[in-house]
Structure 1
């Protein structure tokens, strides 16, 4: 679904939802919002519980291999399915995956953004191992990626086995209900003007790189996910951005909270010690995610989490330069928040 001439598209993809569910089922405790009163909606909670009961320990172990919180290599298949035009049919996607040579598949599995390098040849062992060694991920995950790469054919078979078993025994019965939520989300963002206005798209999804979104030449693809709930994932290629967003995220973005409540929430975000260090770095110069991870000695996933929170309150903004997304501190916004806090406490 596309708004005429806007360059903004809406995709309801069973494959995207399928892959998102694998990641969320395994990592939902790590990525859920930190508010004390947060609880996943009843439908999502029930679905995750049913899926958890349907999986054996061996499947859960494989889930940790391919959808680990720090490396999430399985999520790279979202871009694979989109580029291979199989994102609308899970059986077609799995068949395409089976026909893809293991070395070619691995070129996608390493496209998760946790290094500053690009791999020119996935068949060059030295280049790939250097790539993995420089990744902003824990050492245990580097060893795992190295093992998976060296055993590429076996890795492909393990991944296919996991996906097929999970689809047939756990996910297939959950798909129809998830897709119903996609339709609801389409009407929400359409009525908000997101599909016809790039400015409106930024209002609802402030973590997207502003200059890229406002560039009329950039294709923007929004894809909802029932399982992603409040989370999001952004995949960028030259000339396009694919944003997988949780269906509860836009609704929350439109909540009419009191200005005082919004201020308090923003101050809570700033108050975290890691985010303060990150803001201090960005106050001196723009950096991209990998640089921040290295300078703060944090994993890429941890930095991404903090940046997502800061951008959602417009404390940090992002912009694309060549093939990297750089982040910078919005100093005027920070001053505005502190002035508002001072006024609040003096009243």
Structure 2
């Protein structure tokens, strides 16, 4: 058994309903930026997902949508309420398995703990040291200490700093407002699509179980975008439909607790697409040479054997070998045997495929 196969044995693919709830409220709150990200990487979101988002927006009140804009990040790469939710989940991971249990846990949390997590994520995003050496447990329990620390650690964005201070001064209000957002989203938006999300997520589980079993190294490198040494103990893998394309890894250092990885249900398609983009770059370099372009044109009309192609093009057999190797590398030509002679055959379907992919990338 290879190290890649051994690592795959430690991966336990499963759909986690609670994790999908947290992802759903976070990403739908960031819908605009999710779509912008997809456009930037030339990846098309599923039509069904786009329909789900439209239906969710129609079911939520204007007030709740405005509150979601307040409490979640303004882009996909910095956390706000999403980070607070993750910290609540990770601290109670063994006892939570449903979105209802998560909401009950969030409801029971002290407001000070929630705003402390909020401060932590904002300062982490700014890469600022702000705790002044104080123990994290004391910070979460001492309102005055937390307020003094935040007042002393000024953010570059003054408006953002004032909002953070406001949330800390009125910690209970922060808790109640965010709890209302989560409860309303859960009731009006998440529950109507919960069963379908589970169906789609579990289909992704089945797909990835097969892919990782059949091609462990390729799957870990390309779909999980990881190295084998990251999977050094039992690891739970949640397959997310809402995320579509995502890799999130929580490495659990505590003994007896598993790592957690979140994979988008379309990571495999994106991995192959990224490979295609790299291949298209090579394709464009290949056809940029007029001799190889002439060779493709000749082979488009008929098959040639090596010496015949050399005579027609006025090149040496060595030069023909050099250029055909470039075409072989992209699977643009194949060797076929006819009457004991080896001919070059152009793969016209492959040429058409590369051309269509080139148009997709250059003219999205």
Name the TM-score, length of structure 1 as normaliser. Answer: 0.63
Residue 192 (structure 2) pairs with residue 173 (structure 1): yes
CA distance in 2 between counterparts of 1:125 and 1:196 reads 55
Say which of 5, 20, 25 aligns to 1:22: 25
CA distance in 1 between counterparts of 2:206 and 2:235 reads 17
- Pairwise CA distance, 1:223: 1.6
Residue 109 (structure 2) pairs with residue 91 (structure 1): no
CA distance in 2 between counterparts of 1:93 and 1:203 reads 32
Residue 290 (structure 2) pairs with residue 242 (structure 1): no
1:63 aligned partner: 68
SS of corresponding position for 1:33: helix
Contact residue 150 and residue 165 of structure 2 kept, 8 A: no
Query: Closer, same or farther in 2 for the Cα pair 1:223/1:263, shift >3 Å?
Result: farther
Query: Where does structure 2 lack aligned partners over 5 or more consecutive residues?
Result: 1-5, 285-364
Residue 109 (structure 2) pairs with residue 100 (structure 1): yes
- Pairwise CA distance, 1:154: 1.2
Query: Closer, same or farther in 2 for the Cα pair 1:100/1:147, shift >3 Å?
Result: same
CA distance in 2 between counterparts of 1:147 and 1:157 reads 14
Query: Closer, same or farther in 2 for the Cα pair 1:250/1:86, shift >3 Å?
Result: farther
Query: Closer, same or farther in 2 for the Cα pair 1:80/1:212, shift >3 Å?
Result: farther
1:324 aligned partner: none
Query: Closer, same or farther in 2 for the Cα pair 1:202/1:75, shift >3 Å?
Result: farther
Q: Deviations over 1:203-226 (max 9, x none)?
A: 3222x5x48615x24x53322222
Contact residue 54 and residue 170 of structure 1 kept, 8 A: yes
- Pairwise CA distance, 1:79: 4.1
Name the TM-score, length of structure 2 as normaliser. Answer: 0.60
CA distance in 2 between counterparts of 1:205 and 1:136 reads 35
CA distance in 2 between counterparts of 1:173 and 1:241 reads 30
The alignment's C-alpha RMSD in Å is 3.6
Query: Closer, same or farther in 2 for the Cα pair 1:158/1:200, shift >3 Å?
Result: same
Contact residue 115 and residue 167 of structure 2 kept, 8 A: no
2:242 aligned partner: 227
CA distance in 2 between counterparts of 1:251 and 1:105 reads 37
Query: Where does structure 1 lack aligned partners over 5 or more consecutive residues?
Result: 266-347
Q: Deviations over 1:125-145 (max 9, x none)?
A: 455664687698844333222
Say which of 79, 89, 103 aligns to 1:81: 89
- Pairwise CA distance, 1:257: 2.5
- Select the structure of larger CA radius of gyration: 2
Contact residue 22 and residue 67 of structure 1 kept, 8 A: no
2:57 aligned partner: 52
Q: Deviations over 1:301-330 (max 9, x none)?
A: xxxxxxxxxxxxxxxxxxxxxxxxxxxxxx
Contact residue 38 and residue 45 of structure 2 kept, 8 A: no
Greater fraction of residues in helix: 2
- Pairwise CA distance, 1:241: 4.4
Query: Closer, same or farther in 2 for the Cα pair 1:38/1:118, shift >3 Å?
Result: same
Q: How many residue pairs are counted as aligned between the two chains?
A: 259
Residue 31 (structure 2) pairs with residue 12 (structure 1): no
SS of corresponding position for 1:10: strand
Query: Closer, same or farther in 2 for the Cα pair 1:54/1:105, shift >3 Å?
Result: same
2:350 aligned partner: none
Residue 213 (structure 2) pairs with residue 213 (structure 1): no
Query: Closer, same or farther in 2 for the Cα pair 1:188/1:135, shift >3 Å?
Result: farther
Contact residue 8 and residue 196 of structure 1 kept, 8 A: no
Say which of 156, 180, 195 aligns to 1:161: 180
Say which of 46, 49, 52 aligns to 1:41: 46
CA distance in 1 between counterparts of 2:250 and 2:151 reads 20
CA distance in 2 between counterparts of 1:248 and 1:257 reads 15
SS of corresponding position for 1:25: helix
